Amino acid sequence: MTDQDLARGLLSDMIRVRRMEEKCAEMYSAAKIRGFLHLYVGEEAVAAGSLRALGPDDAVVATYRDHAHALLRGIPLTSIMAEMFGKQEGCSRGRGGSMHLFDASRRFYGGNAIVAGGLPLATGLAFADAQLKQNRVTACYFGEGAIAEGAFHESLNMAELWQLPVLYLCENNRYAMGTAINRELSQTDVTANAAAYRVPTASADGMDVLACHAATVAAVEHIRTEGGPFFLEFRTYRFRPHSMFDPELYREKTEVEHWRERDPIRLFTEKCLADGTLSADDVAAIEERAATEVDDAVAYAEAGTLESVEELTRDLMTPAEALS
């Protein structure tokens, strides 16, 4: 792959995610999407850079902020948007919604609504691959808030003891819901928490898509050649509130604006135009394709169908059946 191909792919991935998330916010405001909605605006460089370092046989486990990972893992935006709308054409048949995107055929195992809930799952997937002697990596995404949970410590301890091929990817956006990192972790250097279990670690600028990509390529190569787990921190920032319900009273607007100056899409676009890697026509074409993809996805979701009551209750038991 040439530098131009990589740059075009990375920029396309980030723009697709940004336009999808902006449309989701619009559809939520129009009451087309209901329930919880956690957007990835500002963090696009992390998903775009890291997921391109994985192979199709590797597994991916994400958090409730999972739209970007699902899209860039290959789940069609039509299927994602239908899921957001609660339609049975969605990737989880409309039953999971925003936080529970899932596609086993692409080895994308969620979307997980529980903080740190994906860590044991990812560790178990890696254990299975190790037992089957599969040369696979399981990539597990989570926020820095998960480090305060017991599941983080149990998972990393087990992964290091058993030398499991799992890549722990910490999207450190400095706030666990509305709690600043210095108020949630006594050790704010998140790599130190992983290093305490003798897990190799690295840290990357999560607003620089090339840095995210290079760091993940190196981490994946380490796991494939040296074995065992690896912990990679991305120092990033979400531009929008924690969720659509969040009044965002815990951080100053000036702080958000300061981070917006490091918008990963704008900075990478400017870099590519300045060094001639991409042209203005290239960027315009990427934007046009993303806009068309989003519009098609919304139309598909709008035309989708709700599950019948019979289908919704098909896998349920009555109390009497459960006790028999």
Question: Could you tell me if residue 232 is inside a domain?
Answer: yes
Judged by phi (left if over 0) then psi (alpha if -120 to 50, else beta), residue 181 lies in alpha
Residue pLDDT, tens place only, 138-187: 999 999 999 999 999 999 999 999 999 999 999 999 999 999 999 999 99
Is pLDDT at 240 greater than 90 in this prediction?
yes
The beta strand positions in 138-295, using DSSP E, are 138-143, 166-172, 175-176, 179-180, 201-205, 230-235
Is pLDDT at 311 greater than 90 in this prediction?
no
Question: Could you tell me if residue 30 is inside a domain?
Answer: yes
Structure tokens at 44: 């696009």
Question: How many domains is the chain partitioned into structurally?
Answer: 1
Alpha-carbon distances, residue 175 vs 97, 103, 143, 191 (angstroms):
24, 29, 8, 16
Roughly what angle, to the nearest 10 degrees, separates helices 209-226 and 44-51? Answer: 40
Buried b (16+ CB within 10 A) or exposed e, 139-158: bbbbbbbbbbbebbbebbeb
Question: Could you tell me if residue 318 is inside a domain?
Answer: no
Return the CATH number at 101.
Answer: 3.40.50.970
What's the rounded mean pLDDT across residues 245-274? 96
Question: Could you tell me if residue 317 is inside a domain?
Answer: no
pTM attached to this predicted model: 0.95
Structural domain including 88 reads 3-310
Question: Could you tell me if residue 315 is inside a domain?
Answer: no
Report DSSP state, residue 201: E
Question: Could you tell me if residue 322 is inside a domain?
Answer: no
Is pLDDT at 98 greater than 70 in this prediction?
yes
289 half-sphere exposure, CB direction, 13 A CA radius: 15
Distance CA 34, CA 38 (A): 12
Confidence of residue 1 (pLDDT cuts 50, 70, 90): low
Q: Across all residues in the chain, what is the average pLDDT?
A: 96
Report DSSP state, residue 35: S
Distance CA 75, CA 72 (A): 7
Question: Could you tell me if residue 136 is inside a domain?
Answer: yes
Query: What is the biggest distance separating any 2 CA atoms in the chain, rounded to whole angstroms?
Result: 71
Burial class (CB in 10 A: 0-12, 13-18, 19+), 55: exposed
Nearest to 163 by CA among 225, 217, 109: 225
Residue pLDDT, tens place only, 211-235: 999 999 999 999 999 999 999 999 9
Question: Could you tell me if residue 319 is inside a domain?
Answer: no
